[in-house]
């Protein structure tokens, strides 16, 4: 990558910078070279040290600035708005291995250390003249014998903790050390935790981090498409001022894996941003967006796979949001008015609005229960499964790879399928209830059918069977009520609407005039005209269920193992 390419493409610049510190060894090399580590951005520094042994982290800490050390603890200490006990023990272990007295005392005299104590240990005043000891042996007294500290039975670093307290007494004196630790006796833990949470939230803001509850706001979608369009129409560009610390922040390579290729339209729009201040703002805005998404899923603590998963979700929403915004404001330089958070929220909202419609429609049916979901058939079950993937997808047919919903064409296809599905659901429920009534009244029996057990008959099987019966003229005859078809009726259907390729039969194209006419008449006869694109659905399930069979050479036993239409078990077949 040339310097010219790096300068004109913000995302590529981030990727380039991220190569400098991907793992602990990269940080170690900077130390060996005598480099100043105070300028290393916080997120890549944290991720690089995340899976590093405590003694290695302890070696690096003295080389960092006090602000960096505080930021590392601020990120690691918290689970949402409460202290993470595992992280507390982890940092005690790290600082117990640091060789720099000043760095150790910095930690011991910090509010973090007090919060650590309050979270993990019980501390109380001790009267040597009237001593009261806790049950068990997991406690010790401070050097002045004025405070008793009780620790959990599974706490393994008692000597290290004693040494830290000894250093505190030696540095600030007995009276001041007692007063400092006594705060834990008299202060409310809840108030202390809340104050520390708010302080760490403000400290991390300049490093491009967002706390859990602000991250929830980033992820809060618009209610409907009209709100999105209103936002796009009225949004005014805002470029905040950044200090040197914020402007220096960047991301770890693991955070950027999903952004390494593609996104050409979005990158092209970024190149059109000429103002340097706006470029810096967008850089920091992207860092904040990525970190907000990581915070929401706790991905920084969970490793590169979790970070990539969150990155793929974020990228999907960014790309879709960009394309949708560009379609509404085609003559504008998008990034002069919108930032990454805006585009993410637009894309995220588009996906969530459609998901909400699907969920609402499903909630009014019995198909949310696993017991009955089978009745929807393979096509709609695959549609639902892909729609609710971490990265929403749409699988158009059985042979194609699912499409990620990341651009307008894929979004339109998915949205249309969702409209067909949600509109069709009341009809599907009607068929389901009718089938259940027939089963309850003992009017159906497994012996009636060649290739289905009654409990496995689904909507697709009923629709394909009904269509075959319809084109065979059975809905104009006394046998109109039959649910299945004979083998001969199925083979006649193949000969009429499929083309023979070698020995296999492949369905004719949707444009075939006879197939198109019969489909339209069938939809009208069954009262399905209210369902948009039902003809496309019917064609697709016939393609998936019926394509590729060598029907001319199949025996009755072979037909027992096919899906698609319900075959009647007539001995005359």
Q: Report pLDDT digits (tens) over 321-339.
A: 999 999 998 777 899 999 9
Q: What is the pLDDT of residues 424-473, one digit of tens each?
A: 999 999 999 999 999 999 888 889 999 999 999 999 999 999 999 999 88
Tell me what the mean pLDDT of segment 542-546 comes to: 94
Residues 29-66: tens digit of each pLDDT = 777 777 778 888 999 999 988 888 999 999 999 999 99
Would you say residue 480 has pLDDT above 90?
A: no
> What's the CA gap between 521 and 536, in Å, rounded?
14
Count of beta carbons in the 10 Å neighbourhood of residue 204: 20
Give the mean pLDDT of 202-224.
94
Q: Look at residue 32 in the predicted model and tell me its pLDDT.
A: 72
Place of tokens 């296809």: 413
pLDDT of 572 > 60? The answer is no
Residue 224, H or E segment: none
Contacts of 552 (CB under 8 A, 6+ apart): 491, 500, 503
- 464 close to 547: Cβ distance less than 8 angstroms: no
Query: Tens of pLDDT along 415-424?
Result: 999 999 999 9
Give CA–CA dist 287/292, Å, rounded.
8
Alpha-carbon span 573 to 568, nearest angstrom: 9
- pLDDT reading at 24 higher than 80: no
CA torsion through residues 444, 445, 450, 455, sign: positive
Distance CA 174, CA 105 (A): 15
Helix axes 377-387, 534-546, angle to 10 degrees: 110
Among 29-38, 238-247, 272-281, 397-406, the range scoring the smallest mean pLDDT is 29-38
Q: What is the pLDDT of residues 60-77, one digit of tens each?
A: 999 999 999 999 999 999
Given a cut of 90, is residue 477 above it in pLDDT?
no
Q: Which residues contact 273 (CB under 8 A, 6 or more apart)?
A: 279, 282, 333, 335, 336
pLDDT at 398: 63
User: What's the pLDDT band for 221 if we cut at 50, 70, 90?
Assistant: very high
CA–CA distance, 244 with 234 (Å, rounded to integer): 31
Q: Which of 35-49, 66-80, 82-96, 252-266 has the highest mean pLDDT?
A: 66-80
pLDDT grade for 481, boundaries at 50, 70 and 90:
low
């Amino acid at each position: 990558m040339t310097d010219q390419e790096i300068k004109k493409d913000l995302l590529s610049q981030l990727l380039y910078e991220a190569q400098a510190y991907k793992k602990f060894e990269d940080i170690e090399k900077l130390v060996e070279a005598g480099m100043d580590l105070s300028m290393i951005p916080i997120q890549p520094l944290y991720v690089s040290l995340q899976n590093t042994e405590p003694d290695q982290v302890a070696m690096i800490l003295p080389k960092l600035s006090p602000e960096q050390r505080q930021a590392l603890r601020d990120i690691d200490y918290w689970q949402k708005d409460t202290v993470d006990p595992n992280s507390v023990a982890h940092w005690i272990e790290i600082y117990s291995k640091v060789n720099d007295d000043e760095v150790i005392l910095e930690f011991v005299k910090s509010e973090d250390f007090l919060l650590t104590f309050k979270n993990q240990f019980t501390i109380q005043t001790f009267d040597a003249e009237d001593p009261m000891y806790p049950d068990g042996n997991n406690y010790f007294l401070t050097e002045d014998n004025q405070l008793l500290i009780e620790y959990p039975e599974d706490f393994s670093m008692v000597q290290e903790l004693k040494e830290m307290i000894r250093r505190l007494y030696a540095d600030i004196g007995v009276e001041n050390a007692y007063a400092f630790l006594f705060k834990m006796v008299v202060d409310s833990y809840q108030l202390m935790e809340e104050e520390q949470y708010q302080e760490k939230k403000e400290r991390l803001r300049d490093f491009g981090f967002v706390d859990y509850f602000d991250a929830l706001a980033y992820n809060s979608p618009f209610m409907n498409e009209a709100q999105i369009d209103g936002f796009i129409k009225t949004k005014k560009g805002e470029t905040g001022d950044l200090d040197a610390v914020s402007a220096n922040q960047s991301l770890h390579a693991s955070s950027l894996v999903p952004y390494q290729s593609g996104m050409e339209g979005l990158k092209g729009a970024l190149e059109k941003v000429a103002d340097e201040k706006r470029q810096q703002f967008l850089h920091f805005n992207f860092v904040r967006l990525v970190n907000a998404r990581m915070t929401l899923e706790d991905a920084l603590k969970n490793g590169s796979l979790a970070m990539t998963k969150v990155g793929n979700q974020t990228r999907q929403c960014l790309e879709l949001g960009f394309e949708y915004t560009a379609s509404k404001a085609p003559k504008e330089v998008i990034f002069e008015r919108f930032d990454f958070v805006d585009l993410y929220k637009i894309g995220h909202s588009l996906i969530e609005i459609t998901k909400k419609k699907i969920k609402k429609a499903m909630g009014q049916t019995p198909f949310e229960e696993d017991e009955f979901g089978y009745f929807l058939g393979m096509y709609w079950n695959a549609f639902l499964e892909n729609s609710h993937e971490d990265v929403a997808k749409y699988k158009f047919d059985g042979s194609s790879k699912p499409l990620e919903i990341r651009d307008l064409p894929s979004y339109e296809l998915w949205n249309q399928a969702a409209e067909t599905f949600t509109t069709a659901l009341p009809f599907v429920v009607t068929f389901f209830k009718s089938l259940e009534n027939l089963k309850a009244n003992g009017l159906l029996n497994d012996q009636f059918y060649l290739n289905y057990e009654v409990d496995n008959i689904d909507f697709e099987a009923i629709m394909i069977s009904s269509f075959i019966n319809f084109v065979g003229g059975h809905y104009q005859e006394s046998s109109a009520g039959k649910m299945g078809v004979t083998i001969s009726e199925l083979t006649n259907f193949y000969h009429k609407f499929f083309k023979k390729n070698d020995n296999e039969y492949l369905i004719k194209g949707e444009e075939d005039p006879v197939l198109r006419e019969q489909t339209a008449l069938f939809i009208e006869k069954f009262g399905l005209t209210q369902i948009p694109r039902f003809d496309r659905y019917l064609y697709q399930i016939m393609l998936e269920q019926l394509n590729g069979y060598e029907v001319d050479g199949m025996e009755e036993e072979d037909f027992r193992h096919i899906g698609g239409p319900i075959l009647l078990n007539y001995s005359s077949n």
